[in-house]
Amino acid sequence: MEMQQFYYDNKIVKKFIYATLFWGIVGFSVGLLLAFMFLFPNVTDGISWLSFGRLRPLHTNAVIFAFVGNAIYAGVYYSLQRLLKARMASNFLSNLNFWGWQAIIVAAAITLPLGYSSSKEYAELEWPIDIAIAIVWVAFGVNMIWTILQRRQRHLYVAIWFYLGTFVTVAVLHIFNSLALPVSFFKSYSVYAGVQDALVQWWYGHNAVAFFLTTPFLGLMYYFVPKAANRPVYSYRLSIVHFWSLIFIYIWAGPHHLLYTALPTWAQNLGVAFSIMLLAPSWGGMINGLLTLRGAWDKVRTDPVLKFFVVAITGYGMATFEGPMLSLKNVNAIAHFSDWIIAHVHVGALAWNGFFTFGMIYWMVPRLFKTKLYSTALANFHFWIGTLGIIMYTLPMYVAGFVQASMWKQFNPDGTLAYGNFLETVAEIIPMYWMRAIGGSMFIIGAFVMIYNMVQTIRSGSDVTDDLAEAVPLTKVSKHRTKGEAWHTWLERKPIKLTIFATIAILIGGIVQIVPTLLVKSNIPTIASVKPYSPLELEGRDLYIREGCVGCHSQMVRPFRSEVERYGEYSKAGEFVYDHPFLWGSKRTGPDLHRLGSKYSDSWHLNHMYDPQSTSPGSIMPSYKWIVRDRLDKSDTQAKMRVMVTLGVPYSEEEIANAQASMDAQGAKIQENLHQDPDFAKNYASDKKYAEENGQEFIEMKDREIVALIAYLQRLGTDIKVKDVQKQLSSK
């Protein structure tokens, strides 16, 4: 049969590799800055767009979507063409994928530091950017499926199953979690509220880890590890079991992020059960990857690419053992909200995603430029300093997590908390934060060494844009199974059916968990005393979201003796019915805030935001001076309330019409409370006089952002009286 000649598109692969290296350094650098902010909280004092709360989502988005995202595209575009014996179907879609993705990353890098955030973890970007993500992702998927349909290889290799599963699942997760009603071009509210929003978010959040940080990399593992080792995949049958069991089970596990919260118990238990089951397919994949290297261990000792792959797959195994363990309620009761989770996440991020990306780039670049790696010694140096960096980062965080959990839960013989002051815990783990910063520094040094190595490798190579290849054209594929053909072998040559079956597999878990929570009202019992936020409190809540306070403070008191003693009555599902979005948080760098209302004076809150160490000696919270001095923008308040009405929040037309007057009255009351502090009254009068004498505008305190934030913080947890709520819930 006549051979067909064609060219692989290497140009698009190179673009994504360059983007991976560039955004990797950006994401790592922001992460390192954040690590040092735990040690020097006011290192960016007074600069709003460099505050911790705004930079944290920038770091997570840069690492996940910029660094890892570009690495996925680079690996998929390289491997897919070679597995299918076909060039990418559309140069236009390939370039739309690349430039659209870079534009999204730049938009994120601008909007997140400016405070435009939905606050939903790994999904903080506002609605116009969410739409752009959907468009670019669909362009990637269409190009991939179109190329599959033009393939010259009859059967789809296991890597492609994972690519297809990734495409459909990420699309479903992103669209449903991002549903929101816009207020303006950069402000929207989630269509879900409270418990429902929490469930949908962690259905997305856990599976963003599963289907963006895991399944595409497993596909890349099935391609690049055999290529680098020059060995076949250990077990074809195991890869089949690995794929189908993983995508079916993974989608159910999200609720394990919400154990002991106000989420219905049945949903929590489902999440636990499927999380435990997840251990089997995860370790099946790890075993398949490592055993592919059997007979190639001598090469592992000398080849830095295989060293990176071995540590990456081992990191995947460690993270996927720890995940199911953390879903056990007795373990979760200790680890949740602590730095243990930070260690767990970074084992996966630094080892699995980071090291696999490094190994993949070390393997691809010399081949793309028809040359040899510039320096194997530098690659080995990168491997060892990176490995030590991961160890130096994660081990201290595990220790910090254990220390936090044990101190939070200890009691004196008389029944009082042994460490009643939350800051005692913070002081105890500062040495661990120093070690984390050192480990992160080592990891980023390795990344810089890699960039130098890659630059020199590229300079020594030839600028070959595309690779010439040839293959036999694919004859018409039979629609039916041939005699003796295994069912899955038949499915491997039917990409549309395979994609449909994968979609069904991932939809089952989502439907079973989410639909009852959204539609069955008894799952979220209401509490009559819980009322919507006042206009000023609503604005204050948006400031809380803008500044990323949810990154360090939870708003969920769990039903443990230690938490009830420390924070107050445990949280009830009905308290969050008007919260669009929910703000339960996932980390306690600072104390829980759900019962904060009326605990401190208005003056305390002002001083705490202006200079946290003045009210809380030893605090590592940065100052938020701009909130104290800046004017509150009230221009969208009524529009916000109307959107909330559409979402089911019972504001009346009269309340919306009188919103400005209501804010003025509540703000004036807080300003009056602040004047009871002699120091505040003296400084306020002095500032006002100075402004008048120098012809400067003076913003009345009642019109400043801090007053709105104080109004919101003083409202937290004050809607219920415990005895009344218990009586009401028991009657239901």
Interval 504-537: pLDDT, tens: 999 999 899 888 888 777 777 889 999 999 999 9
Question: For the chain, where do the domains classified as CATH 1.20.210.10 start and end?
Answer: 4-474+497-514
Q: How far apart are alpha carbons 726 and 112 in whole angstroms?
A: 41
Average pLDDT, the chain: 94
Tell me the pLDDT tens digit for each residue of 81-115. Answer: 999 999 999 999 999 999 999 999 999 999 999 99
List residues bridging with 470 in a β-sheet.
Answer: 5
Number of H-type helices and E-type strands within the chain: 32, 4
| Per-residue pLDDT, 722 | 61
Lowest mean pLDDT among 173-177, 459-463, 593-597, 663-667: 459-463
What is the mean predicted confidence (pLDDT) over 673-696? 90
User: Was 346 annotated as part of a binding site?
Assistant: yes
Q: How far apart are alpha carbons 379 and 134 in whole angstroms?
A: 37
DSSP state of 42: T
The DSSP code sequence of 440-481 is HHHHHHHHHHHHHHHHHHHHHS----EEEEEEPPPPPPPSSP
Q: How many CB atoms lie within 10 A of CB 634?
A: 17
Q: How many CB atoms lie within 10 A of CB 519?
A: 9
Non-local (6+) Cβ contacts of 450 within 8 A are 21, 358, 361, 362, 378, 379, 382
User: Was 256 annotated as part of a binding site?
Assistant: yes
What is the percentage of the chain residues whose pLDDT exceeds 90?
Answer: 86
| Sign of the torsion formed by the C-alpha atoms of 349, 350, 353 and 354 | positive
With bands split at pLDDT 50, 70 and 90, how would you rate the model's confidence at 729?
Answer: very low
User: Was 257 annotated as part of a binding site?
Assistant: yes
The answer, yes or no, to whether residue 306 has pLDDT greater than 50, is: yes
User: Was 206 annotated as part of a binding site?
Assistant: yes
Fold entry, domain 4-474+497-514: Cytochrome C Oxidase; Chain A (1.20.210)
| Per-residue pLDDT, 1 | 61
What is the mean predicted confidence (pLDDT) over 144-156? 93
Element (H, E) at 378: helix 376-409
Question: For the chain, where do the domains classified as CATH 1.10.760.10 start and end?
Answer: 535-730
Q: Spell out the long-range contacts of 267-273 with Cβ–Cβ below 8 A and sequence spacing 24 or more.
A: 267/199, 267/513, 267/517, 268/329, 270/512, 270/513, 271/327, 271/513, 272/327, 272/328, 272/329
Tell me the pLDDT tens digit for each residue of 532-577. Answer: 999 999 999 999 999 999 999 999 999 999 999 999 999 999 999 9
CATH top-level class of 535-730:
mainly alpha
Tokens of 541: 């809540």
Termini Cα distance of the chain? 75
Q: How far apart are alpha carbons 603 and 670 in whole angstroms?
A: 9
User: Was 553 annotated as part of a binding site?
Assistant: no
Non-local (6+) Cβ contacts of 509 within 8 A are 248, 249, 251, 252, 274
Non-local (6+) Cβ contacts of 300 within 8 A are 293, 306, 307, 310
Element (H, E) at 164: helix 158-177
What is the mean predicted confidence (pLDDT) over 153-175? 95
* Burial 489-510, CB ≥16 within 10 A → b, else e: ebbbbbbeebbeebbebbeebb
The pTM assigned to this predicted structure is: 0.95
